[in-house]
Amino acid sequence: MKYLRKKHNINIKSNQKQKLRNIGYYHGYKGYRFINSANNKIPYTDFNELLAIYNFDMQLKTLFYSKVMFIEAALKNYVLEEILDFSKSENLDIIFNKCLTYYKNSAVNPRIYKEEYSKRLDLKGKINSALVRDYRNQQKIVNHFFEKDRNIPIWAIFESITLGEFGMFFSCLDKNIKLKISKSLKLPVNFDSDGLLTQYIIYAVKDLRNAIAHNNVIFDTRFCTGNINKRLSLSIEHETQIKNITFKDIEDYIILVAYIIKKLNVPKTEITRFAKEFQDNIENLRSIIPINIYNKIINTDTKNKLKQLNISISK
C-alpha cells in the first residue's frame, strides 16, 4: 500500500487493505496497470479506479464463459457428425486414414506437403499425450476404455483434447469434410470456398477461452497469441455490416461470439441479452472511472458497433 502511494501516486485508504489482498498486488495492480503493453500505462490516481477495471474484467469473463464453452462443445459436435458420416467409423486409426488427409492437397508442393504431413503426425502424438494425461488424472471416460482394453472412440477423444488441439485436428481434415461443416454452419460461401473459415473461428475463440480458463486479463485483448485471419474479419463485416473488426478491442470478441452463436441457432433473445449485458458493463464502467481512462479502454466506435450488432441479431 505504501509502495502504491509513494511510487505510483495512487490514493489507497487503510480500509482498502483487504480489497488489495483479495485481488493481489501482482495479479491485481501488476496485471491491470497497463493496456496491451507495459508502455501504455493507465494513469490511475485512486485505487477505486483500479478496482473498477478489475471488476469490469471479471464481469467480462463471467459474460463470455458460458458462451465460449458452448461454442467449443457445439463445434466439436458439428465436426464429429461429419467425420462419423464420412468415415463410417468411430475408430481413430480409420478416421486418420480416411478423414485426416488434407496433406494430399499439397502433393504438388513438396515443402507444404511435408509441413502438412508433419502436422498430421504431430497431431497423433498430441492426442496420445492428452489421453495419457486424462488416464493419469482418473478421467472416467478415458479410464473406462483403457481398463476394458478397448479402443477409445473419437467422441471420447474429443472430450480429452484442448480447443487448440481440436483446431489442429480440424486443419488436418479432408477439404470435402471442411466444406460440409461450413455448409452446416451456414458460413458465407464467397468467403469460405476452401472450408477454412471454421478453422479460423476455432483459433480465434481458443485464445479467449484459454484466457478465461486461466483467469488472465482480457479487457484489452492481450490474450491474442497471433494475428486472426483477415478473412474471418471480412466475413463477419460482410454479414453484420459492422465495419473495422480488427480483434484489437474486446467488443470485436463480443461481435465474434454473437456471430457464432447465431450460426449455431441460439435464440435471438439470448444473443440480444448477451450484447446488452456487455453494453451495461461498459456504461457502468464509464460512470465510475475518469473519462480519460475510459477512452483508453473503450473505443469511440464501440457504441456504433453494438448498435449495428443489435440490428444484425434481429435479422
**Which parts of the chain register pLDDT below 70?**
none
Contacts of 217 (CB under 8 A, 6+ apart): 31, 32, 57, 211, 223
Alpha helices in 214-290 (DSSP H): 230-240, 250-263, 268-288
Nearest to 173, CA basis, from 101, 264, 246: 101
Q: CA-to-CA distance for 158 and 244, rounded, in angstroms?
A: 34
Q: Are 163 and 209 in contact (CB under 8 A)?
A: yes
Residue 37 has φ and ψ, to the nearest 5°, of -140, 155
Helices (H) and strands (E) in the chain, counts: 16, 2
CB atoms within 10 A of CB 128: 12
Mean confidence (pLDDT) of the chain: 93
Q: Could you report the per-residue pLDDT of 77-92, keeping only the tens digit for each?
A: 999 999 999 999 999 9
> Which long-range contacts link 211-217 to residues 24+ away (Cβ below 8 Å)?
212/61, 212/64, 212/65, 212/68, 215/27, 215/61, 217/31, 217/32, 217/57
pLDDT score for 142? 86
| Cell digits of residue 126 | 498430441
pLDDT score for 20? 86
pLDDT score for 2? 81
Alpha helices in 88-196 (DSSP H): 92-98, 110-136, 140-147, 154-160, 163-171, 175-184
Q: Is residue 165 helix, strand or coil?
A: helix
pLDDT score for 201? 97
Q: Is residue 241 helix, strand or coil?
A: coil
Boundaries of every domain in the chain: 40-314
pLDDT score for 94? 96
Q: CA-to-CA distance for 297 and 52, rounded, in angstroms?
A: 12
Q: CA-to-CA distance for 276 and 279, rounded, in angstroms?
A: 5
Q: Which amino acid is at 134?
A: D
C-alpha torsion angle, residues 48, 51, 56, 57 (rounded to 10): 150
Contacts of 293 (CB under 8 A, 6+ apart): 42, 43, 44, 49, 53
C-alpha torsion angle, residues 34, 38, 40, 44 (rounded to 10): 40
